[in-house]
């Protein structure tokens, strides 16, 4: 059973304009691998070349920031929603 991945407006152009896509996996990393398999243009937008979460996105499992869970190894189940939002900061 796939779960829902909600993409921010800034990334939808790389996913055929879709706001929500279905993807499978037991961790956020696996789900993102499936997302990138479906939409290769998202490669490099979510995960860096060395396999880390891109610093310019924040990712939430339901309402929990995965940085405060297990990062990309955060477990997910079918009724979870993964939300990606742009990370913005400065001084």
Partner 1 sequence: MLRLSRTHHLAIVAHALDGVPEEVCGLLAAPAGSDGGDIAAVYPCRNIRASAKVYEPHPLDVAAADDDAGARGLTLTGVYHSHTHTDAWPSPTDVAEAGWPDWHFVIVSLRHPEPVLRSFRIVAGEVTEEPVEVEDH
CA–CA–CA angle 10, 43, 30 (5° rounding): 105
Residue from 56, 62, 73, 75 in contact with partner 1 (CB under 8 A):
56
Residue from 33, 39, 80, 83 in contact with partner 1 (CB under 8 A):
83
65: left (phi over 0), alpha (psi -120 to 50) or beta: beta
Residue from 2, 10, 37, 48 in contact with partner 1 (CB under 8 A):
10
Considering only the stretches 11-19, 21-29, 30-38, 69-77, report the one whose residues sit in contact with partner 1 under the rule CB under 8 A. Answer: 11-19
What is the distance between the alpha carbons of residues 6 and 63, in angstroms, rounded to a whole number?
Answer: 12
């Amino acid at each position: 059973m796939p779960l829902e991945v909600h993409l921010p407006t800034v990334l939808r152009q790389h996913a055929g304009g879709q706001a929500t896509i279905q993807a499978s996996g037991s961790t956020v990393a696996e789900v993102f691998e499936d997302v990138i398999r479906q939409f290769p243009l998202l490669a490099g937008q979510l995960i860096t070349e060395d396999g880390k979460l891109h610093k310019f996105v924040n990712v939430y499992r339901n309402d929990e920031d995965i940085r405060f869970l297990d990062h990309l190894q955060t477990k997910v189940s079918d009724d979870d929603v993964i939300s990606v939002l742009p990370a913005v900061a400065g001084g």
